[in-house]
């Protein structure tokens, strides 16, 4: 476990987190690898974890009928992939596909939700970080959707 603690402690998402809180997260974490083209998760499946990306790139995308996958954002080294584990009904709202080989740390969502319920300080620290990720992703998705609608001639600039 000490290896995971060092990896998580050095990851930007956990920068400045209290050591005891980080220990709680480590107890829910495992290493994960995904070859290029493999899905970390698929829309509609049970959202039971999230991923701390250490290396590689993950496309966060939705499927658009008659068009195919639309990339809304990407998660690269230093970022996380997956927010749906936190919100009922705990189902993925999009797909996450490894664009290139990905090395990540998978964090068990049920384990971490239970620890957050028992330790509100940990829950608040995580919620601050996850809210920032959510805010950035919403902004990025908004810009990509504007581009998609503009390219389709549905809006003008």
Cα-Cα-Cα-Cα torsion 54, 59, 62, 66, nearest 10 degrees, comes to -160
Assigned token pair, 23: 């220990």
- Rounded CA separation 36/59 (Å): 11
Partnered with residue 41 across adjacent β-strands are 96
- Rounded CA separation 32/54 (Å): 10
Note the pTM of the prediction, 2 decimals: 0.85
Which pLDDT belongs to residue 155?
A: 63
- Tell me how far CA of residue 48 lies from CA of 15, 90, 112, in angstroms: 24, 7, 10
Per-residue pLDDT tens digits for 118-157: 999 999 999 989 888 888 878 877 787 777 677 766 666 5
- Rounded CA separation 8/22 (Å): 8
Assigned token pair, 137: 């992703």
Per-residue pLDDT tens digits for 35-82: 999 999 999 999 999 999 999 999 999 998 888 888 888 999 999 999
More confident residue, 97 or 71: 97
Per-residue pLDDT tens digits for 7-45: 999 999 998 999 999 999 999 999 999 999 999 999 999
Give the residue extent of every domain in the chain. 2-151
- Domain 2-151: CATH superfamily, name plus number: Jelly Rolls (2.60.120.10)
């Amino acid at each position: 476990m000490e290896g995971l603690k060092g990896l998580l402690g050095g990851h930007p998402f956990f920068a400045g987190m209290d050591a005891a809180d980080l220990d709680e997260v480590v107890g829910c974490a495992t290493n994960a690898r995904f070859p290029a083209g493999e899905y970390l998760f698929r829309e509609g499946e049970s959202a039971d974890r999230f991923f701390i990306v250490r290396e590689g790139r993950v496309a966060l995308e939705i499927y658009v009928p008659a068009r195919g996958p639309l990339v809304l954002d990407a998660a690269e080294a230093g970022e996380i992939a997956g927010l749906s584990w936190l919100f009922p009904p705990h189902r993925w709202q999009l797909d996450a596909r490894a664009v290139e080989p990905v090395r990540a740390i998978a964090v068990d969502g049920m384990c971490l939700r239970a620890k957050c319920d028992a330790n509100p300080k940990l829950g608040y620290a995580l919620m601050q970080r996850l809210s920032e990720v959510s805010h950035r992703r919403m902004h990025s998705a908004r810009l990509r959707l504007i581009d998609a609608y503009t390219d389709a001639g549905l809006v003008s600039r």
